[in-house]
Amino acid sequence: MAEKKTAAKATAKAQPRLKALYNDELKAKLQKELGLDNINQVPELKKVIVSSGVGKKREDKKFTETVELTIAKITGQAATSRLAKKSIATFKIRKGMGAPVGYLTTLRNDKMYEFVDRLINIALPHVRDFHGVSRSAFDAQGNYNLGLKEQTVFPEITFEDAAVLHGLEITFIIKNGSKEGSTKLLELFGMPFEKEAK
């Protein structure tokens, strides 16, 4: 009985594959490749934000419920609604208006690594006519933004969930990031960047 409990504890404490890979191998490899003096200067994934705007369909209850459910299903974490921060007359949006303009959730630690692993190895290969993700979607701090046209690339999405299609935006917040360092980090994670033109 005691052996079973110990085994259960060990299983429960097992690190996600990508997190263990980063800590055991990639961190030292990045330090060497980037020529950094201190291990604490190495780029590190701090959080991943998964979001989706509902735009003109903010009053469509079925659409907003699908968006909220999708984010919860693919991340394993409840999504929070976001209200408009400013008024936009063209879209008939007033600052702080009742209907949410989007949903998001922020992943950290183990959940973050598990999601990134599934995204890179399961979801992205299912994108139709996929030729790699853009290399130019980094900001000045080295954070990376990835847009998906449909939520159906994730295996957690059922046929019923796919009846209402919507896009997703995934933002990788990277500590000690730069375009070069963040690109190398994501490449070592297996991110399939588009091939550079020769």
Q: Is residue 21 part of a domain?
A: no
Q: Give phi and psi for 42, each to the nearest 5.
A: -70, 135
Is the residue at 3 inside a domain? no
What pLDDT sits at residue 85? 53
Lowest mean pLDDT among 24-33, 44-53, 70-79, 90-99: 90-99
Name the amino acid, one letter, at 145: N
In a domain, 164, yes or no: yes
Q: How far apart are CA 2 and CA 85, in angstroms?
A: 55
Looking at residue 197, its pLDDT comes to 60
User: Does the residue 24 lie in any domain?
Assistant: no
pLDDT (average), residues 94-104: 66
d(C-alpha 74, C-alpha 119), whole Å: 9
**If you search the block for the tokens 């991110």, which residue do you land on?**
191
In a domain, 35, yes or no: no
Average pLDDT of span 31-57: 91
In this predicted structure, the answer to whether residue 127 has a pLDDT above a threshold of 80 is yes
Q: What SS3 class is residue 174?
A: strand
Residue 114 lies in a domain: yes
Quick: pLDDT tens for 67-93: 889 999 999 999 998 876 544 444 444
Output the average pLDDT for the chain. 85
pTM for the whole thing?
Answer: 0.83
In-domain check, residue 162: yes
Provide the CATH number for the domain around residue 67: 3.30.1440.10
Total domains present in the chain: 1
pLDDT band at 96 (very low <50, low <70, confident <90, very high): very low
Residue 27 lies in a domain: no
Residue 163, CA distances (Å) to 15, 25, 39, 63, 181 in order? 35, 42, 47, 10, 39
Structural domain of 100: 45-188
